[in-house]
Amino acid sequence: MTATDIRPNLPVDQQIEILKRGVVDLVTEDDLRRKLEEGQPLRVKLGADPTRPDLHLGHAVILRKMRQFQDLGHKVIMLIGDFTAMIGDPSGKSKTRPPLTLEETRANAQSYLDQCKLILRDEPEVLELRFNGEWLEPLGYADVIRLASRYTVARILERDDFTKRLGAGTPISLHELLYPLTQGYDSVALHSDVELGGTDQLFNNLVGRALQRDYGQEPQVVMTLPLLVGLDGTEKMSKSLDNYIGLTDAPELMFARLMKVPDPLLENYFTLLTDLPQERIQELLAGHPVAAHRELARQVVAWLHPEADLDAAEERFRAVARGGIPGNLPTVTVPREELGENGVSMARLVVLAGLEPSNGAARKLIQNRGLKLNGETYTEPQGLLRQEDFAGEGGAVLQKGKDRFARLVLGS
């Protein structure tokens, strides 16, 4: 379903066919059908703890599902867990995730919301933005005790990661046991009809379904989607693992990275990130892998960058693949005050170009032979560039890996 393909009156069978695409768990399809047959817009919840401010295509999988609900006439609720992020959810982790301050969660949340709207429609009739601090922060100690009384320790400990940690002798703090209850209570507060989540959130979302029933509400339908495997082909997409494709990556960079998706993951990426029919996907997979990658790259880039010149992005990829330096590079102006008597360090320039976050990381990049200057591998971690090094036509071009470029010019 494309961004303009809005069909609020689609028959229930067709709605279910669209909504089931790519879904791993659906608890239950009968409940979903019954809710849809009532003919009222559903309240579809996605909870997100804004622990990091930047999103990638792994996040886009579930945002696409939200957009499908919107285009079918339903309201999605983007729930920002500003309060629960201060607890730290250990889902899928052997240790609890470090908690954040309220200020950190709210700062991250703004960036998170801005990026979500690259995919979601933002009309108030189909999008509701909420923060769970609205109802969780006012709860008193007696309220928390009453909430805790509605679920047993035995049921909480059924969660797979808790079971593994107990078996391994890894400590589990009491506040972690409260996390599923806290997230489940969000569904009660919002009267959600459907809750979306990754497969790692199945337990937490089912707690919400149970609590709603206990509070006398119609229990929500739970839908989970797979965690998108990253470009390394082994682990889920993550910025910390540097195996990601950023939601806000430039079209040419996004195109190049999609061309690197491991062959065994192509079907997964096509299913979760495009609207191509399964018949067409199978045709592409049966053909040459390069053609399949090319179609995937064009489909995803066109979705997230509707105005992008796909032919230019593809030509840039081909130029880089041939070992050349593409045109139309992002230009970074280096302030002249950065030049000392002997020049400016290459590590500093790498940071200014946005290729690495710190001088230490930049020096490590150079030591690992991951940086090129004007097409040649640069190998001096303590090296300096002088004014004359910027004097050539087009300044100095830095390249990280195969597809990250920046053109450096001196300020006037």
Instruction: Look up the pTM and report it.
Output: 0.77
Q: Is the pLDDT score of 376 beyond 60?
A: yes
Structural domain includes residue 326:
no
Q: Do 283 and 97 contact (CB within 8 A), yes or no?
A: no
Residues 28, 89, single domain; the answer is yes
User: Among 321, 346, 372, where does a domain finish?
Assistant: 321
Q: What's the rounded mean pLDDT across residues 57-61?
A: 92
The closest alpha carbon to 188, from 207, 212, 206, belongs to 212
User: Which CATH number characterizes residue 32's domain?
Assistant: 3.40.50.620
Residues 178, 150, single domain; the answer is yes
User: Which CATH number characterizes residue 402's domain?
Assistant: 3.10.290.10
DSSP per residue over 115-163, as a string?
HHTTTS---TTTEEEEETHHHHTT--HHHHHHHHTTS-HHHHTTSHHHH
Higher pLDDT, 393 or 72: 72
pLDDT value at residue 162: 84
Structural domain includes residue 234:
no
Residues 45, 154, single domain; the answer is yes
3-state secondary structure 343-379: CEEHHHHHHHCCCCCCHHHHHHHHHCCCEEECCEECC
Q: What's the rounded mean pLDDT across residues 382-410?
A: 83
Residues 375, 393, single domain; the answer is yes
In one-letter notation, the amino acid at residue 63 is L
Structural domain includes residue 195:
yes
Residues 40, 75, single domain; the answer is yes
Q: Do 354 and 331 contact (CB within 8 A), yes or no?
A: no
Higher pLDDT, 364 or 375: 364
Residues 145, 125, single domain; the answer is yes
Q: What's the rounded mean pLDDT across residues 228-257?
A: 87
Structural domain includes residue 210:
yes
Residues 49, 136, single domain; the answer is yes
Residues 203, 117, single domain; the answer is yes
Cα distance between residue 361 and residue 13, in whole Å:
53
Structurally, the chain folds into a number of domains equal to 3
Query: What tens digit of pLDDT does each residue of 183-229 get?
Result: 999 999 999 999 999 998 999 999 999 999 999 999 999 999 998 99
Query: What tens digit of pLDDT does each residue of 312-352 get?
Result: 888 888 877 777 777 667 788 888 888 877 888 999 999 99
Structural domain includes residue 298:
yes
User: Among 295, 321, 347, where does a domain finish?
Assistant: 321
Structural domain includes residue 243:
no
User: Which CATH number characterizes residue 266's domain?
Assistant: 1.10.240.10
Q: Is the pLDDT score of 8 beyond 60?
A: yes
Residues 339, 213, single domain; the answer is no
Residues 162, 287, single domain; the answer is no
Query: What tens digit of pLDDT does each residue of 71-119 get?
Result: 999 999 999 888 877 665 555 444 445 566 667 777 777 778 888 888 9
Contacts of 396 (CB under 8 A, 6+ apart): 349, 373, 374, 385, 389, 390, 407, 408, 409
Q: Any idea what DSSP says for residue 388?
A: G
Residues 317, 352, single domain; the answer is no
Domain enclosing residue 356, as ranges: 331-410
Q: Do 300 and 306 contact (CB within 8 A), yes or no?
A: no
Q: What's the rounded mean pLDDT across residues 263-274?
A: 94
Tokens matching residue 17: 């066919």
Flag whether 117 is marked binding: no
Residue whose pair of structure tokens reads 């032979």 in the numeric block? 369
Residues 303, 367, single domain; the answer is no
User: Among 321, 346, 379, where does a domain finish?
Assistant: 321
Structural domain includes residue 337:
yes
